[in-house]
């Protein structure tokens, strides 16, 4: 903690990286860093990175991401000024730092509906969508995860995400060879389209349905198949056009096979999707 305020920029950045690792799995450590006053130094590193230490912003943003995993610290971090600075980092030319900033915003939004609105109000959504086009798969996955989380229980954010053009790049990401990108783009489509008729229609119009069915039929990875089935479920719900298209594409037979999976999340999502397609 003392090294966070060191006059040596390299030492400060290394301290942020070390705290990031120390807080990666331990909730008590996360709370300790926040309550011991670690946030101001981390925010300062985001705002004033040293040109001689290129990993400084990335380390600080990654550390805040792990700190925000603590349910009791989300509000403190969001109202400390960190959220707005993270959005500024999203806009920077430092793509590695932007990816970590997206991850930190994602972490702040998990199980916190107020932070989902704060992220949108701070103007993050267009910059998260821009990051979907990054050549780096980690940046793509972190931005997709943040957009996915922001859309849960927030119809306004769903509208903003689609209006700013996220659905087409998310569909393109389904074709990625990277499993995290496949999984998180599927999650994002699942959540962005849930109970949102316009987004369901847009997803169909940009070609999401055949791509989802292709991934459902070719992937062998349960962590990918589960959100794909969830997306099919949400896209089919109360949408006759999507339901008919999924049936025409052969999704029903694939889902019947996946329902036999012993993995609870895959079994549950496949069953829910199958029930939507088989509703009279």
> In angstroms, rounded to a whole number, what is the distance separating the alpha carbons of residues 101 and 264?
32
Q: What pLDDT band is residue 94 in, cutting at 50, 70 and 90?
A: very high
Q: pLDDT (tens digit, 9 = 90+) per residue, 165-206?
A: 999 999 999 999 999 999 999 999 999 999 999 999 999 999
Indicate if the pLDDT at residue 104 is higher than 90.
yes
Stated pTM of the model? 0.96
**Given pLDDT bands bounded at 50, 70 and 90, which one contains residue 26?**
very high
Is residue 29 within 8 A of residue 40, CB to CB? The reply is no
Q: Tens of pLDDT along 208-266?
A: 999 999 999 999 999 999 999 999 999 999 999 999 999 999 999 999 999 999 999 99
DSSP string, 249-268: TTHHHHHHHHTT-SSHHHHH
Cα 202 from Cα 223, distance rounded (Å): 25
Long-range contacts of 66-69 (CB under 8 A, 24+ apart): 66/20, 66/23, 66/24, 66/30, 66/107, 67/23, 67/30, 67/33, 67/34, 67/38, 67/39, 68/104, 68/107, 68/108, 68/110, 69/23, 69/27, 69/30, 69/107, 69/110
Euclidean distance between CA atoms 129 and 266, whole angstroms: 28
194: left (phi over 0), alpha (psi -120 to 50) or beta: beta
Q: What is the pLDDT of residue 280?
A: 64
> What is the 3 state secondary structure string of 126-194?
HHHHHHCCCCCHHHHHHHHHHHHHHHCCCHHHHHHHHHCCCHHHHHHHCCCCCHHHHHHHHHHHHHHCC
Residue 2, pLDDT score: 85
């Amino acid at each position: 903690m003392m090294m966070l305020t060191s006059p040596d920029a390299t030492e400060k950045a290394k301290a942020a990286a070390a705290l990031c690792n120390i807080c990666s799995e331990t909730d008590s450590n996360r709370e300790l860093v926040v309550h011991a006053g670690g946030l101001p130094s981390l925010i300062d590193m985001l705002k004033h990175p040293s040109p001689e230490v290129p990993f400084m912003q990335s380390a600080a943003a990654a550390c805040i991401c792990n700190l925000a995993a603590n349910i009791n610290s989300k509000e403190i971090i969001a109202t400390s000024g960190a959220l707005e600075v993270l959005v500024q980092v999203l806009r920077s030319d430092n793509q590695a730092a932007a990816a970590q900033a997206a991850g930190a915003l994602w972490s702040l939004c998990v199980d916190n509906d107020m932070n989902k609105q704060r992220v949108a109000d701070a103007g993050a959504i267009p910059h998260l969508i821009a990051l979907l086009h990054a050549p780096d798969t980690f940046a793509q996955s972190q931005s997709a995860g943040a957009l996915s989380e922001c859309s849960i229980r927030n119809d306004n954010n769903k509208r903003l995400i689609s209006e700013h053009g996220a659905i087409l790049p998310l569909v393109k990401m389904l074709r990625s060879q990277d499993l995290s990108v496949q999984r998180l783009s599927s999650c994002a489509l699942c959540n962005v389209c849930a109970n949102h008729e316009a987004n369901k229609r847009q997803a169909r119009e940009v070609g999401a349905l055949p791509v989802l069915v292709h991934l459902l039929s070719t992937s062998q990875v349960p962590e990918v198949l589960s959100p794909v089935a969830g997306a099919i479920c949400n896209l089919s719900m109360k949408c006759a056009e999507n339901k008919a298209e999924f049936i025409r594409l052969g999704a029903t037979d694939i889902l019947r096979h996946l329902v036999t999976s012993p993995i609870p999340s895959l079994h549950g999502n496949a069953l829910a999707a199958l029930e939507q397609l088989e509703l009279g």
